[in-house]
Amino acid sequence: MHTVRWVAEQLGLAPGTLRAWEQRYGVVHPTRSEGGYRLYDDDDVAALRAMVALVEDGMQPAQAAEQVRSDRIVSVRGAEADPPTGLPDPAALIAASRAYDARALDDILDRAFASAGFEYVVDEWLTGALDSIGQGWAAGRLDVAQEHFISAGVMRRLAAAFDAAGNARAGRHVVIGLAPGATHEIATLAFAIMLRRRGLRVTYLGPDLPVASWVRAAGEARPEALVVGAPRVADSGAASEVVHALLEAAPHTRVYAGGPGATPGHELTGTTLAASADWLEDSLSTPAVRAVGA
C-alpha cells in the first residue's frame, strides 16, 4: 500500500490533485489507515498513471476519469458474464439512512460503482436496492427524510456521472426530461447518462416540466428525439399530454416515453434501461420516415 505523498511523487502530481480526482471523479477509492490517511494499492496507482497519460494527451479530466473507470470495470453490454463480486448488500443503504451517515452512504455507492459497469450497477443493483428502500418506507420502517437522504446521495452520484460522461458535439441530439408533476428522476437521469456513454448528444431538462416548456424546448433545440420520463403509473396522464403535444408541435421528431407511466404506443423498447438505451441508439441510426404514432 502506498501513501498519497508517495503516489504523488511517482506520478509528478500535487497531493491535492490526487484528492480532487478521487472526490470529483471517483477514479480510485483508496482505503484508509487506522489514522485516517489514504492508502493506494498497485491497481489504484496504475489507474492514476493511465489518467495522467490521458490528461497529458489533451483529454479533459472528467472524460479521462470516465475512460479509466470503464477500463477497470466489467463490460456487460453484448456479453454474457458472471455476476461481479463486491456489490454491497442493499440493506447497507437502509442502515446508512437510518443513521443519516453520509460518509457510509458515499462509501457504499463508491463500492457499488467500482464493482461493475455503470449499466450493470444501475439495472441490477441500484434498481433493486431502491425497490427495497421503497418497500421499507411503505411498511413504515423508513421515514420520508431517510428515504430522501438516500435519494439525494444517489442523485449526487448520478449528476457527477452525467458530467463525467461528456457530451458529444456532433452526435445525434436527444432531449430528456420528466412529465409535469413527475419528480422521481433517478431512472430518467440514469438513462440520460447511458445515452451519453453511447456517444449521443444529450440535453437533460430535469423533473416536473410543464407541457408548454416541453414544446418550447422541442422547437428551440430541434433534437432528433425527445424522451418523456414517467416513473410512476400516476404520471401516465401527464406524460400522454406531453407526448401528444410534442407530436403536434414537432411532427418530424421522434417522441418516446419511458417508465411505468409511459404512453401506450410510444414506449421505449427494452426490459432494462441499458437495453432501452441500446435500442434508442440503434433506432436513431435509421432515418425516421414519419413521426412516431403518426
* Structure confidence by residue, pLDDT tens digits, 108-124: 998 888 877 888 899 98
Three-point CA angle 84, 117, 26, nearest 5°: 110
Q: Which pLDDT score, from 0 to 100, does residue 79 have?
A: 39
* Structure confidence by residue, pLDDT tens digits, 153-162: 999 999 998 9
Distance CA 292, CA 10 (A): 56
Q: Is the pTM of this model over 0.75?
A: no
Q: Which pLDDT score, from 0 to 100, does residue 72 have?
A: 53
Structural domains of the chain, ranges and CATH numbers in brackets = 2-72 (1.10.1660.10), 91-164 (1.10.1240.10), 173-284 (3.40.50.280)
Distance CA 49, CA 264 (A): 49
Across all residues in the chain, what is the average pLDDT?
Answer: 85
Cα-only R_g, the chain? 21
Q: Which pLDDT score, from 0 to 100, does residue 80 have?
A: 39
Q: Which pLDDT score, from 0 to 100, does residue 292 have?
A: 42
Strands 38-40 and 2-3: antiparallel
Strands 31-32 and 2-3: unpaired
Q: Could you give the percent of the chain with pLDDT greater than 70?
A: 88
Distance CA 290, CA 139 (A): 47
Q: Which pLDDT score, from 0 to 100, does residue 43 have?
A: 80
| Mean pLDDT of all residues in 3-10 | 86
Banded model confidence at residue 69, pLDDT cuts 50, 70, 90: low
Nearest to 45 by CA among 63, 22, 67: 22
Nearest to 76 by CA among 87, 84, 64, 68: 84
* Structure confidence by residue, pLDDT tens digits, 216-263: 999 999 999 999 999 999 999 999 999 999 999 999 999 999 999 999
